Amino acid sequence: MDLTILLFLLQDGMTSGAIYALLGVALVLVFAVTRVIFIPQGEFVTYGALTFAVLEAGQIPGTMWLLAGAGALAFLFELWTHRRELTARLLVHEATLKLALPAVVAGLTHVLVPMKAGPFVNLLLTIAIIGPLGPYLYRIAFQPNADASVLTLLITAVGVHLAMMGMGLILFGAEGLRAPPISNASFTLGPLPVSGQSIGVYLVTLGLILALWLFFDRTLMGKALRATAVNRIGARLVGIRTSLSGRIAFALAATIGAISGILIVPVTTIYYDTGFIVGLKGFVAAIIGGLASYPLTAAAAIVVGIVEALASFFASDLKEIIVFMLIIPVLVWRSIASGHHDEEEE
């Protein structure tokens, strides 16, 4: 192996690592706020990737109908919960968020798809279709059980993952899809050719992480989400609805998943079940970050990406095994070093 190959592998690893970083950060976010270990994160990657690919091919993606269905179901859940105290205001509010929003997205899709509006519009449309699925899913599957144990929530998450994967097969079929690259540009950095696509991945990752940091550090809603993560009862006592925090966390996670999918679908062929493995690698990073530290998760994700790239060169059959084995020394070290953790302080 010479330097060029090494640099090539590093670039490749960092590109995947950047995507794992996004997914890992989303997993930490969802876990901190809702205590859900968000296995279906990978399905949002798949849905984002395939929705984008279908849109790029000039067709209407099935996820648009899924959005409408999920919105209607979430609306019914809301009606049932508030059946004894339905007010006009509540009804309008819920109908706007859960019925009108999917309708508007569907309308836009039908108008914009025949126009072949280009990858940037398709990217926004994909986010508009996949992003709201997060909070709807939270409303349907997790909110009714929000105070259950972490294990119960994990089992729910596995169920949702399986359901969404099956739904992916119905919506997109068993064939893999690939989208044309968003950017065909290519540069050379010394001996190393760098594709515009990987530059795009780095920029989007950095931009999203910066935006998330600003959101959590500067905005009231961001602080409210952190507060929910730190002390749920304390959050309720100042009037923060933990269900709202949960929906926002899921909306962010779904959007991050969709963007990750859009970033990888021009590079790799994505099948209905590809997202799961991609999501699990983000999960490895999140575990190394203790499901708590965002910077550690992001750094670990880059390491996961690089290890994966090197492993696929030296021992491609063992690639996945090597990547997932990373988790073992970390778990051993953590269990020795940290003893027992309490969720609530004081």
Partner 1 sequence: MTALFSLDNFTVSYGKVQAVSDVSLNVAKGEIVTVIGANGAGKSTLLNAAMGLLPARGRMTFEGQELAETDDVEARVGLGLCLVAEKRHLFGSMSVEDNLVLGAFRADRSAFEGTLSDVYARFPRLLERRQQLAGTLSGGERQMLAMGRALMSRPRLLMLDEPSLGLAPRIVADIFTIIADLRAAGVSILLVEQNAKAALDIADRAYVMELGEITRSGAAATLAADPSIAASYLGLGH
Cβ proximity to partner 1: between 240 and 284 the closer is: 240
Q: Which stretch binds partner 1 (CB under 8 A): 51-59, 71-79, 109-117, 229-237?
A: 229-237
Interaction of residue 342 with partner 1, rule CB under 8 A: no
Interaction of residue 190 with partner 1, rule CB under 8 A: no
Q: Which stretch binds partner 1 (CB under 8 A): 52-60, 191-199, 230-238, 308-316?
A: 230-238
Which of 176, 181, 196, 234 contacts partner 1 by CB under 8 A? Answer: 234
Interaction of residue 300 with partner 1, rule CB under 8 A: no
**Minimal distance in Å, beta carbon 232 to partner 1?**
9
Show the CA angle centred on residue 5, arms to residues 261 and 260, nearest 5°. Answer: 10
Contact characters 135-164, partner 1, x per CB under 8 A: ------------------------------
Interaction of residue 230 with partner 1, rule CB under 8 A: yes
**Rounded CA separation 298/286 (Å):** 8
Interaction of residue 240 with partner 1, rule CB under 8 A: yes
Interaction of residue 189 with partner 1, rule CB under 8 A: no
Interaction of residue 93 with partner 1, rule CB under 8 A: no
Interaction of residue 86 with partner 1, rule CB under 8 A: no
Interaction of residue 293 with partner 1, rule CB under 8 A: no
Cβ proximity to partner 1: between 239 and 339 the closer is: 239
Chain centroid, CA 25 distance in Å:
9
Contact residues toward partner 1 (CB under 8 A) are: 82, 84-85, 220, 223-224, 226-227, 230-231, 233-241, 345-346
